[in-house]
């Protein structure tokens, strides 16, 4: 097993390999374990390990992928650029990898098929938080902290982890927002909700999405509170 501890820099001036799936599996500042067994993606991993180790995790557009999976079915524009943080190669050529989400991106142009590369590549435009926007997020940091310190959200397992991050001044507020967006339970916990989060390029839009989800969860947990007084089957919890 190998890993990388160097600073990750994304050169958006170069094509980035694209790995599309039917759901958004990777978010910025999150990790995703993947098993790589298809020949085209084995080639992709071999190539990226010889380079910067970057992959743009994409999402298929519509359902054409079900019939055209081994071709080039259409993909949606929002991607998460991930870095291969750890990898292991099996004797049969398969890989086990852990991807670390680096940043959002948007496909500006997909490269035509290559005679030598089995996988897809695209030019990606960066989608991120400008350094000047971080200061504007500080009030949200206090708002989120207050909400997570108060019942019923304080009962969630994620509350303690998030509060620990909030109390660490070295962790930017934008990263805390990403952490909540990727881990907060959602009332509409479907695959489309995950893509909407990935596609939300404006950090203030993501803040509104997180605060709305926190408000929805608060109301849901308050409505469910009377049931908590009843004896629950062993092993049940509210997380």
137 and 209 in a single domain? The answer is yes
Whether residue 1 lies inside any domain: the answer is: no
Whether residue 23 lies inside any domain: the answer is: yes
37 and 89 in a single domain? The answer is yes
Of 127, 153, 180, the residue at which a domain comes to its end is: 127
pTM: 0.84
Q: What is the pLDDT of residue 6?
A: 54
Q: Is the Cα torsion angle 180, 203, 196, 209 positive or negative in sign?
A: positive
Q: What is the pLDDT of residue 236?
A: 45
Q: Are strands 2-3 and 120-127 parallel, antiparallel or unpaired?
A: unpaired
Whether residue 188 lies inside any domain: the answer is: yes
Of 96, 127, 158, the residue at which a domain comes to its end is: 127
Q: What domain count does the chain have?
A: 2
25 and 39 in a single domain? The answer is yes
78 and 151 in a single domain? The answer is no
Q: What is the pLDDT of residue 233?
A: 53
Tens of pLDDT, residue by residue, the chain (239 residues): 444 445 678 999 999 999 999 999 999 999 999 999 999 999 999 999 999 999 999 999 999 999 999 899 999 999 999 999 999 999 999 999 999 999 999 999 999 999 999 999 999 999 976 766 788 888 899 999 999 999 999 988 889 999 999 999 899 999 999 999 888 876 555 678 889 999 998 888 999 999 999 999 899 888 887 765 555 555 445 45
Q: What is the pLDDT of residue 3?
A: 41
196 and 217 in a single domain? The answer is yes
Cα dist. 84→2, 41, 97, 127 in Å? 10, 13, 7, 20
* Structural domain span for residue 166: 131-228
CATH assignment of the domain containing 74: 2.30.130.40
Whether residue 2 lies inside any domain: the answer is: no
Whether residue 107 lies inside any domain: the answer is: yes
76 and 177 in a single domain? The answer is no
Q: What is the pLDDT of residue 67?
A: 92
90 and 137 in a single domain? The answer is no
Q: What is the pLDDT of residue 184?
A: 84
Whether residue 233 lies inside any domain: the answer is: no
Whether residue 176 lies inside any domain: the answer is: yes
90 and 175 in a single domain? The answer is no
137 and 100 in a single domain? The answer is no
Q: What is the pLDDT of residue 167?
A: 93
């Amino acid at each position: 097993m190998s890993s990388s501890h160097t600073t990750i820099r994304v050169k958006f001036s170069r094509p980035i390999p694209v790995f599309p799936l039917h759901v958004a599996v990777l978010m910025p500042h999150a990790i995703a374990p993947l098993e790589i067994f298809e020949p085209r993606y084995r080639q992709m991993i071999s190539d990226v390990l010889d380079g910067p180790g970057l992959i743009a995790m994409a999402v298929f557009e519509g359902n054409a992928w079900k019939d055209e999976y081994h071709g080039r079915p259409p993909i949606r524009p929002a991607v998460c650029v991930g870095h291969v943080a750890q990898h292991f190669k099996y004797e049969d050529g398969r890989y086990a990898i852990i991807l670390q989400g680096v940043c959002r991106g948007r496909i500006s142009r997909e490269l035509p098929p290559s005679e030598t590369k089995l996988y897809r590549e695209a030019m990606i435009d960066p989608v991120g938080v400008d350094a000047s926007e971080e200061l504007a997020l500080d009030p949200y940091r206090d708002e989120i902290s207050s909400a997570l310190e108060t019942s019923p959200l304080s009962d969630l397992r994620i509350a303690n982890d998030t509060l620990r991050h909030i109390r660490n001044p070295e962790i930017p507020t934008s990263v805390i927002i990403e952490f909540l967006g990727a881990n907060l339970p959602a009332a509409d916990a479907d695959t489309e909700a995950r893509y909407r989060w990935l596609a939300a390029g404006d950090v203030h839009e993501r803040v509104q999405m997180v605060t709305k989800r926190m408000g929805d969860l608060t109301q849901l947990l308050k409505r469910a509170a009377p049931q908590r007084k009843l004896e629950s089957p062993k092993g049940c919890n509210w997380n």
